[in-house]
Amino acid sequence: MHRVLSKPVGSIALLCAALLVCGPLAAKEWLVPAEQGALQEILKDAQAGDILRLAPGDHSGPVEIEKAITLDGDQKARIIGNGTGSVITVHVPDVQILGLTLTGSGLSQETLDAGVKLTKKAHGAVVRNNTILDNLTGVDVHGAKNAIVSNNLIEGRRDLRMNERGNGIYVWNAPDLLAEHNTIRFGRDGVFVNTSHRDTFRYNHFEGLRFAIHYMHGNSGTIEGNTSKGNDIGYALMFSDRLTVRNNVSVGDRNHGLMLNYANRAVITGNQVSAGGEKCLFMYNANKNTVTDNSFEGCPIGVHFTAGSAKNAFQGNAFIGNKTQVKYVGSRMLDWSTGGKGNYWSDHAAFDMNGDGLADTAYRPNDLVDQVLWTQPSAKLLVGSPAVQLLRWTQSQFPALLPGGIVDNAPLMHPPVRPMPNSGVQG
């Protein structure tokens, strides 16, 4: 037998607040009317495990959650903050925020005002199927372990300058976070990780941002199947160790598709970077990384590889139609083939007489003339001169004259084919 209870709010009786009792220890379901203060009043009486179903319409925020309850808006309810602090702040474990539209946070960068803030005690929280609009930060995961942020649309404040905006998802010391199938637009960074470990970011879609994913001081994380489109930088990995960056896409990002800055021992595999404004991949003081089976296409520079980067392995990558395939200013000779397999180079005119899929001649993306042009840009005026053409021909005939640089002793004849990931909000 079900009982129906009501809770008065001021002079308004909440006739729509229903408590369904299925047994002495059963979770209770509350129907929350879209009335001023109703949600806050029912939160006082709700107990851990209860489900609060919000009626369609606007509900007033901010909301402080101090019991392990579920808030479910069924895609029809909206919680509107008062312009200060976060719209929803979670202080306890095992809370679920589902199917809500959240808007109206404050603008304090100091307190990281957000649509949803998960504090350091909000372990195991779930933020799923929400529309989080026009807040400073979308979701702030601030010390909560094992949280899930899934299938949300997060859009930042377009009325603010880029550097005044917050991040779509901000992560601080939140190990084992899973953020998947989110669509994030118009913030500063789509995801900003600051000192966290073992986090997973997969199948998210990023547009209209500075960086799609900005990883700082994080170890053993996974970035998989994401799409970055038209941002300043796709995936910026800095001061981090043992990251796995797999099957991501960067299309038309204005500066770099992938950037590794003091990022070490990463596995960079199966990614597709195309039509970047400057560099498909930029590696600065990045060491002991494995870069395999990626596609770098249509950038002014395919890979810019600084001399401070060492012990990196390149194999099975496709360099297609970049104006400069590789820029490496260094004196060391580096072989970009491993175990008899190198990379595909679209500008390598070669034959495969034995049909093994490998070119019969080695490929060198750079020569002495390239290095002169990088250090003395004004020398471009002489590129078409007979003297420069003679120098390049001489180097091709006498490899001993070549400076240190990249050589691929087993270049591939054909680029590998890779599928596009299914990223962003689903359903």
Distance of CA 419 to the CA centre of its chain: 19
pLDDT of residue 197: 97
Between residues 236 and 5, the one the model is more confident about: 236
pLDDT digits (tens, 9 = 90+) for 224-277: 999 999 999 999 999 999 999 999 999 999 999 999 999 999 999 999 999 999
Percent of all residues in the chain with a pLDDT value above 70, rounded to a whole number: 85
The closest of 297, 282, 214, 285 to 250, measured between CA atoms, is 297
pLDDT per position as a tens digit, 175-212: 999 999 999 999 999 999 999 999 999 999 999 999 99
Cβ 256 vs Cβ 279: under 8 Å: yes
Q: What is the mean pLDDT of the chain?
A: 89
**Rounded Cα distance, 344 and 297, in Å:** 11
What is the rounded CA–CA span in Å between residue 136 and residue 352?
Answer: 57
Q: How do the domains of the chain map onto residue ranges?
A: 367-404
pLDDT band at 10 (very low <50, low <70, confident <90, very high): very low
For residue 380, is pLDDT > 70?
Answer: no
Q: Does an H or E element contain 214, and which? A: strand 211-216
